[in-house]
Amino acid sequence: MALAVVTRDPLDLQALTREIAEGAAGDGAVAAFTGLVRDHNQGRKVRFLEYEAYEPLALRVLGRIIEEASETWPGVRVGMHHRVGRLEIGEASIMIVAASAHRAHAFAACRYAIERVKQIVPIWKHEHFEGGEVWLEGATADPDDEKAKLTAYRIACA
């Protein structure tokens, strides 16, 4: 299993954790983040989400975030799986697992990774709510924007 994955299949936290923890004799900590589809957003009652990705670029950018994390916290290993297609309420859209010698870096890398996903990974939510549908638009993706990177780092270390 690859560390960076974009898939239409349901995500499997145990499999990703196994992959990250394999051969992790020097690690004392594994932190995980799972993002779920919420039943409400900005006052709207959400029915389901459809995720769309520019897949080849999304894979590269996930890989880039994994590299950024391991440069920032040497020795940390990160895996990120993002699901696309139609997702029902309560289903997992993203899973991130980070392993490290100590918990602080595992938690920080995990948080950094999800913040960077929201900044630069070319994936979009098409929200289907009671009464309509809308494409959600967050950040203008610019992987070279050092300010955005610093913001993600600050949130991770807060």
CB of 21 to another protein, least distance (A): 23
The b/e string for 83-120 (b: 16+ C-beta within 10 A; e otherwise) is bbeebeeeebbbbbbbbbbeeebbbbbbbbbbbbbebb
CB of 81 to another protein, least distance (A): 12
Which residues have a Cβ under 8 Å from the Cβ of 117 and sit 6 or more positions away? 62, 65, 80, 82, 94, 96, 123
CB of 74 to another protein, least distance (A): 25
Name beta bridge partners: 40.
Answer: 45
Q: Which CB, 80 or 108, lies closer to another protein?
A: 80
Q: Which CB, 1 or 136, lies closer to another protein?
A: 136
Q: Which CB, 107 or 124, lies closer to another protein?
A: 124
CB of 70 to another protein, least distance (A): 20
- Residue ranges binding another protein (CB under 8 A): 35, 51-54, 56-58, 60-61, 82, 93-94, 114, 117-126, 135-144
Q: Which CB, 12 or 55, lies closer to another protein?
A: 55
- Is residue 77 within 8 A of residue 16, CB to CB? The reply is no
